[in-house]
Each structure stands twice: as C-alpha cells, then as structure tokens.
C-alpha cells in the first residue's frame, strides 16, 4: 500500500450489544478509559449495583437524586439508586473508539509524522472488526494520552519473570526476603503485568513461636469497611489475631501504623514480621485506620481499592505463618498467591492502592 493511500474501514459503525450481554460490560468496565465525575443524565455508565458482591452492570443515568446519588437504569430495565463513588463513565462506548486509540498509540513511537500516519492506518486496519485484538492490559493502556491528555501509570508489557526469592539461613531474613519479592509482584501487577517466579530456593525455616494474642489489628468502627471486617471475622478469616477498634492503652508493645500506599503496606509487613522474631517484643499492634475503603477510586491505575479488610487478611496470613513451628516454600508461596487476589487493574483484578 502506498503511504498516501488510506484504508476504508468496514466496521467503523459497529456497536456493542446493548441488551445486557457480557461483551459490552467487559469492554466498558475493563478496557475503555473511565471517568469518575462530570456525570449527566443520559450518560452510559458502569455501576456497582450490589456493593457486597461487587456486581457491575452497564446502564444509563436517568435521574439525579442528589450530589452524591444517581438513578441508573441498567440494560435489563431495572432501576438502581447508586452512590457517585460506585459509578464510572467510560469515555469510549463503541469499538471504533478503542481501535482508533490503539492504532494511534501503537504508531506513536515512529519518528516522523508521515510514518506515524502510515502505521496508524495499518494498525487501524488490523483492529477493524476485531480482525486482531490486543491483550486486555494493553487495550486499557495503549494511547490513553490521546483521550485524557495524560499517560496512564500502567504497562503494555504482557508478563515478567521477576526476581525470585533467594535462600536465607536466618528465619527472619528468609521471611523478609519473601515479602520483598511479594512487593515486586504487587507493584508489577497493579500496573497490569503478569508475573512468574521460582520459589524452589526458599528455605524451610522456623516460625516465630508466637501465640495469637501477640498480634492485634486495629480498625475503627467508623471505617467504611468495619462491617466487612465483622462479616469476615464470622467466617473465620481472622483466626490467629485479635481485632480491636482503637489503639490499646499503654505502650508495652510495638506499634505499626500502616499508611495508605502499597509501599507503606509492605513496609508495615516487614516491621510486623521483624517484631515477631524479636524476643524483646511482647506484642505487636498494627493499625489499619488510614487504609482507604473498598471500591474507593484509584485514579492512578484506573480502578478501585480492594479496601482495608482485604489487606488485613494478607497480614493475617503472615501472622499465622509466624505462629507455625516451621514454614516451607509452599507455605511462603501463599503470600504470592494472596497478592494475586488483591490486585486489580482497570477492573480486571481485585484492586490495589495507588
């Protein structure tokens, strides 16, 4: 094809299904660029209609209840009253809008405008009618700056073989080595990459010999996730630790304050485990008060938070491991497995913090 000849696209007017089928929900929830404000009557949105289950549906805003609530009619005709923070508005609602963005993003690396135009047209032909479709994380990331004016904090790489845990003779050093690698895993996955690693070099080491009473976790009653904590406790998910609503009196313990970032969370994990193996420490208190609640918007990765309780469960797993007589590599690998369940990018996984 000559560089000046442009293809005519057969499927530029294609629409997603608008009768509740999954093609529209998956595309608008996971791969279209979202906005979390400037809602108006008539907007197509993706709404969390059952907060406890995280159930999402595509619908149209047909009324404004207040500054914080909207009426949304889903594709099945059911009307929901939804809080603003549980709604996202896809900035792309037709396949051709996605294809145009991907083509422009893919061609953007070329050095001249002429080559960019040529390759944008070539890629656009490839995408037309879903002749070829990109991997999900690439669909969300590629060319975002042409819609929002700012590149997303996401990756277009598919998978990584990351730093694997090394053997350590000291029990506490082996535990901290696993946490450090888990932090690498979390940071890659929250930006959209998949990971693989080798756990065979992790040594079997002694636990810290602590009782469940050694570990106290704090989440205030006024935290939006507090009821979830009670529900998860009833299911036995917090066996092995004590949960309280405020910091205990006195100072005869090691206090760990968890900040609202992934970096702070992993730092707090290391502090808790280091304290567990310190014979001079009588108790460790880990305070989760500042962690954002479930479904809070995380704009940096175009998704939502998995909430305080989900991260607390990862700390519970580590506390339970520390209470064992010994910990082998498969048991340590449960930490990596749980990270997978915590992380979401663009709605396709459970959500991390920014």
Q: Are strands 44-50 and 34-35 parallel, antiparallel or unpaired?
A: unpaired
Q: Where in the chain are all domains bearing CATH 2.30.30.140? A: 22-90
Mean pLDDT score of the chain, rounded to an integer? 89
Q: DSSP state, 239?
A: T
Tokens of 70: 């909207």
Bridge partners of 122?
A: none
Model pLDDT for residues 281-312, shown as the tens digit of each residue: 999 999 999 998 887 766 655 567 778 999 99
- Which pLDDT score is estimated for 126? 95
Eight-class DSSP state of 67: T
CB atoms near residue 234 (< 10 Å): 9
% of the chain surpassing 70 pLDDT:
91
- Sorted by sequence, the CB contacts under 8 Å of residue 150 that are 6+ apart come out as 144
pLDDT per position as a tens digit, 63-76: 999 989 999 999 99
Residues 133-174 pLDDT 10s: 888 778 888 999 999 988 877 777 667 677 889 999 999 999
**Whole-angstrom Cα distance, residue 8 to residue 11?**
9
Q: Please state, in angstroms and rounded to a whole number, the distance separating the CA atoms of residues 273 and 277.
A: 7
The answer to whether residue 353 scores a pLDDT higher than 70 is no
pLDDT tens-digit profile of 163-214?
889 999 999 999 999 999 999 888 777 766 677 788 999 999 999 999 999 9
Residue 46 has pLDDT above 80, yes or no: yes
CATH for 160-342?
A: 3.30.1620.10
Per-residue pLDDT tens over the stretch 121-130: 999 999 999 9
- All residues at 6 or more sequence positions from 51 whose CB lies less than 8 Å from its CB, including other chains: 86, 294, 295
**Is the pLDDT at 4 greater than 60, yes or no?**
no
Give the mean pLDDT of 233-248: 96
Whether residue 12 is predicted with pLDDT greater than 50 in this model: the reply is yes
Contact between 312 and 219 (Cβ < 8 Å): yes
42-46, 187-191, 225-229, 249-253: which range is least confident on average? 187-191
Fold adopted by 22-90: SH3 type barrels. (2.30.30)
Give the residue among 287, 300, 314 at the shortest CA–CA distance from 344. 300
Q: Which run of H or of E encompasses 243?
A: strand 242-244
In this model, does residue 351 exceed pLDDT 80?
no
Greatest pairwise CA separation for the chain in angstroms: 78
- Which one has a higher pLDDT value, 259 or 341? 259
Does the model's pTM come out above 0.75?
Answer: no
DSSP 219: -
Task: Name the segment(s) of the chain with CATH classification 3.30.1620.10.
Answer: 160-342
What's the mean pLDDT in 92-116? 95
CA distance 24 to 77: 16
């Amino acid at each position: 094809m000559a560089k000046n000849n442009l293809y005519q696209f057969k499927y530029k007017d294609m629409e997603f299904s608008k009768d509740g089928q999954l093609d529209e929900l998956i595309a608008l929830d996971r791969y279209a660029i979202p906005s979390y404000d400037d809602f108006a009557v008539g907007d197509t949105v993706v709404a969390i209609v059952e907060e406890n289950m995280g159930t999402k549906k595509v619908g149209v805003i047909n009324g404004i209840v207040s500054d914080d609530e909207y009426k949304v009619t889903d594709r099945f005709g059911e009307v929901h009253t939804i809080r603003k923070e549980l709604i996202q508005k896809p900035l792309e609602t037709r396949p051709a809008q996605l294809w145009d963005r991907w083509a422009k993003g893919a061609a953007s690396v070329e050095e001249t405008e002429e080559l960019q135009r040529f390759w944008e047209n070539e890629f656009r032909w490839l995408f037309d009618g879903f002749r070829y479709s990109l991997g999900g994380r690439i669909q969300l990331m590629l060319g975002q700056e042409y819609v929002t004016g700012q590149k997303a904090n996401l990756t277009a790489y598919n998978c990584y073989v990351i730093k694997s845990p090394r053997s350590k003779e000291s029990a506490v050093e082996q535990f901290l080595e696993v946490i450090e690698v888990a932090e690498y895993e979390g940071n890659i996955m929250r930006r959209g990459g998949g990971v693989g690693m080798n756990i065979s070099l992790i040594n079997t080491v002694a636990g810290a010999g602590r009782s469940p009473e050694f570990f106290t976790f704090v989440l205030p009653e006024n935290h939006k996730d507090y009821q979830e904590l009670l529900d998860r406790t009833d299911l036995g998910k917090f066996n092995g630790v004590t949960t309280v609503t405020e910091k205990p009196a006195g100072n005869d313990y090691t206090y760990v304050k968890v900040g609202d970032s992934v970096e702070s969370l992993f730092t707090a994990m290391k502090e808790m485990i280091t304290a567990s193996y310190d014979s001079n420490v009588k108790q460790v208190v880990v305070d989760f008060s500042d962690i954002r609640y479930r479904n809070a918007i995380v704009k940096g990765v175009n998704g939502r938070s998995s909430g305080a309780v989900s991260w607390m469960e990862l700390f519970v797993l580590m506390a339970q491991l520390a209470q064992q007589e010994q910990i082998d590599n498969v048991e340590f690998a449960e930490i990596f497995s749980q990270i997978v369940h915590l992380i979401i990018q663009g709605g396709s996984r459970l959500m991390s913090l920014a």
